[in-house]
């Protein structure tokens, strides 16, 4: 009876000896390959190999970080600290979304994105216009009164073409040749400017008033104003209005490509969560729960 028990004991001891042991959480070992990686990282940043002192410092910094990391895990900070938890999630998100080198979006994908979301790729209403400017000063009102009659007698521009373009009538003198007003740093003539662009240059009140008046029938080609800005007074002659439109594929290629790549990242993220969640039994309030990954917010 004792001999079979002895054989069993020897067999159990052998199995225990052959079974791989989990690494000791209190044992930290830095391998030659890890030291080599630290050295190469230093060389990439410093463009030279580390000295012996610097090499020892690199090792000490790595080991210090490793000690703190293991202590944080032993304290359960990865479970209880929301900042640590968020960082772990973000790291895995990044890995999930960056698997492999993404292929450039095809024109078919770009066209599909443009067709599905044309509102995202709109060119706003734009104006072509020229201006006569009087800078602010104590004599501004007198100069306005003297200049306005000279602008009123200028012939209007004659619109032509279905695109809302305009051309000067033979008797209409280009404002650059009139020698009226003061020099303006940004110039006298502006082509294809949106309301936001006009606002950035002249201020919101002028931009709003100009676009409102430009939309009124019969105002294209006429001198409008004076409009007031922080610089002084402006008369504006709208040469052409360009209606809002959807960008062409070649115009929006960059934005379309970014949108397609983002959709791919979202899909990769969702797929990764689904595949990973399949390895877990998930219960909510005691009931089985089928995880439906939400859209990932970067």
Q: Which two tokens stand for residue 240?
A: 């052409």
Query: Does residue 258 have a pLDDT over 60?
Result: yes
* Pairing label, strands 232-242, 126-135: antiparallel
* Pairing label, strands 223-228, 158-159: unpaired
Helix, coil or strand: residue 93 = helix
The domain ranges of the chain are 29-75, 83-121+248-271, 125-243
Question: Predicted confidence band at 8 (pLDDT cuts at 50, 70, 90)?
Answer: very low
Give the pLDDT score at 155.
58
Helix, coil or strand: residue 225 = strand
CATH topology of domain 125-243: Chitinase A; domain 3 (3.10.50)
Taking only the tens place, the pLDDT of each residue in 279-297 is 888 888 888 888 776 655 4
Identify how many contiguous H helices and E strands the chain contains and give both numbers.
11, 10
Strands (E), 136-275: 158-159, 166-167, 189-194, 223-228, 232-242, 245-246
Cα distance between residue 157 and residue 191, in whole Å:
15
Q: What is the mean pLDDT of residues 169-175?
A: 47
Give the pLDDT score at 289.
82
Give the pLDDT score at 153.
59
- pTM > 0.75: yes or no: no
Q: Which residues contact 31 (CB under 8 A, 6 or more apart)?
A: none
Stretch among 41-55, 110-124, 160-174 having the lowest mean pLDDT: 160-174
Please give the C-alpha separations between residue 106 and each of 57, 111, 117, 261, 266, in angstroms, as whole numbers: 49, 9, 17, 11, 18
């Amino acid at each position: 009876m004792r001999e079979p028990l002895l054989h069993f004991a020897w067999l159990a001891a052998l199995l225990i000896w052959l079974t791989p042991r989990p690494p000791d959480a209190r044992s930290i070992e830095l391998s030659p390959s890890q030291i080599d990686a630290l050295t190469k990282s230093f060389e990439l940043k410093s463009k030279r190999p580390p000295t012996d002192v610097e090499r020892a410092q690199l090792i000490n910094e790595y080991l210090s970080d490793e000690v703190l990391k293991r202590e944080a895990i032993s304290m359960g900070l990865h479970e209880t600290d929301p900042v640590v938890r968020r960082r772990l999630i973000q790291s895995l998100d990044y890995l999930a979304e960056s698997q492999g080198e993404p292929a450039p979006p095809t024109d078919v994908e770009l066209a599909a994105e443009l067709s599905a979301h044309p509102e995202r790729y709109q060119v706003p209403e734009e104006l072509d216009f020229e201006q006569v400017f009087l800078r602010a000063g104590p004599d501004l009102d007198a100069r306005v009164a003297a200049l306005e009659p000279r602008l009123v007698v200028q012939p209007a521009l004659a619109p032509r073409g279905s695109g809302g373009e305009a051309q000067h009538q033979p008797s209409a003198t280009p404002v650059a040749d009139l020698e009226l007003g003061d020099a303006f740093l940004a110039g006298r003539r502006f082509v294809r400017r949106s309301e936001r662009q006009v606002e950035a240059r002249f201020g919101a009140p002028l931009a709003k008033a100009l676009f409102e008046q430009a939309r009124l029938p019969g105002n294209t080609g006429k001198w409008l104003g004076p409009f007031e800005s922080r610089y002084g007074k402006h008369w504006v002659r709208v040469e052409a209005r360009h209606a809002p439109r959807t960008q062409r594929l070649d115009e929006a290629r960059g934005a379309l490509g970014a949108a397609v790549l983002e959709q791919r990242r979202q899909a990769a993220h969702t797929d990764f969560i689904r595949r990973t969640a399949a390895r877990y039994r998930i219960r909510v309030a005691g009931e089985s729960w089928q995880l439906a990954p939400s859209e990932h917010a970067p």
